[in-house]
Amino acid sequence: MKKLKVDEKNIYLDKQSGKDFNRPQYKKMCRRFKEGDLLYIKSIDRLGRNYEEIQEQWRYLTKDKKIDIVVLDMPLLDTRRGKDLLGTFLADIVLQVLSFVAENERTNIKIRQKEGIAAAKARGVKFGQAPKPLPANFHEVYQKWKAGKYTVTEAAKACEMPRSTFYYKARVYEKATF
């Protein structure tokens, strides 16, 4: 975008997946469009990865918002050129093919991700944050709580954890010690 001398305030970047168009920066960009504006997109899969939604958004941007779109890695997708019937037809075909490829790639990514997770789990890899160790005073506080000397609120406060965490840790502790 910098090579094209696009002003930094006009560059929008979403860090979310392109699975749909419910992205804050994309929505903000669309609100700012005026008729005759020009949208540069690095590649069609940067616009989105859902075949039907890409088609729908393309029509929305070019027909409703009346802006031009240039897909940088696919020169055939430049709405400034070929506004005649043949040019529009060719651009529509290319858009459909690339939209299909983008969605297909998203599907493949999800499959590879599931396979990777399954393989990691088979190797014994644990996902998520490692559990925090019990506080040094947990055994003492737990005994007082079990004996009725502490309420759960007092016990949780003494261990510096939420009540729900204290309950959970107490159940795990009981299974481990009995």
Given this model, what pLDDT does residue 33 score? 92
User: What is the pLDDT, as a whole number, of residue 160?
Assistant: 94
What confidence score (pLDDT) does residue 87 get?
Answer: 64
What whole-number distance in Å separates Cα of residue 153 and Cα of residue 164?
A: 10
pLDDT of residue 138: 94
Strand, helix or coil for residue 133: coil
Instruction: Give dist(CA 49, CA 136) in Å, integer.
Output: 50
pLDDT below 70 — which residues of the chain? 16-20, 82, 84, 86-87, 178
pTM exceeds 0.85 for this model = no
Q: What pLDDT shows up at residue 17?
A: 65
Rounded to 5°, angle at Cα 42 from 56 and 86: 55
Structure confidence at residue 129 (pLDDT): 86
